Structure 1
């Protein structure tokens, strides 16, 4: 009787060990498969991330290149405009009839050049520099308005036998004179010189950062 019980127990535990071993093997295989699948998914995500990063680097590199090209073209024109403004600041102290028209023309030419260059490249210029540029352009526009008003006022007078005679509209003359006085009060030329100095500094600092 005891022998039969021992045989039954041996068979039971033998079957249990085999069943347990099968479960353990299946569990190990499932874990291994999960790890393989997870590894594949992670690898794909990393690959996608690398591709996106590479695209971003290419876009960023191209963006920087365009900024450098734009600022490199703008900077020499800024220097030229700065010099013309300093000369104009001295010339404008003279009487309108005594001024050198070439100096005024040179300043207006540099104004047009810097305005066109900025308008063409505004989309790519860094924000900090763009903010300074906006102030500079506004000041330039005011100086240009000042010169145009002076010219318009001058054309209202005709010199006859050494004397200036007024042949314009009085209301227009009063309006232009007021506008001119307002611009003088603002010290527009001084502001242009301050703005261009700040702008040049911003651009120089930009190039130092990327050096």
Structure 2
């Protein structure tokens, strides 16, 4: 059974959603990042970047245990392992990889900065908050335009959707009104009604 080392964050939710959608049995090992458990030597052994999530799969590609860190790498690993939500067709796979990398490089780091600057003193946060909120709004706009022409970000449901919905889940915290992005809202509401996605967000991660 896969061990999911995680906490209640957007990146953590990406993986619980994927595991549920893929129907893989797993157990949660909480890593309390508020108490710096991510720096414990036992966790660093599987996640050297001291970030959640990470997984340990006792049944790796060669039958031996394997650990995987970084949420994007975990999604690709699980997609390869199961043959689900990661197309074999190269053209279709390119779209999944594009949107997964888009999430990892922008739609995560930028909203994450919004989270950070909302938590600092008003006098210290004005410039940073304005900068990162503008970029976050731009990224929601990119996503909205994409979802105007496709049902899911890569066409068919994929690990890229699981990656992005983990962050879209926090849209209110980003100070984003999905009414301003109707195609994102349609996509988000459709995903959040899927049984696997719902279970992935309901599982206790702390």
The two structures have a TM-score, normalised by structure 2, of 0.32
Higher helix share: 1
* Bigger RCO (CA 8 Å, 6+ sep): 2
Larger Rg: 1
Higher strand share: 2
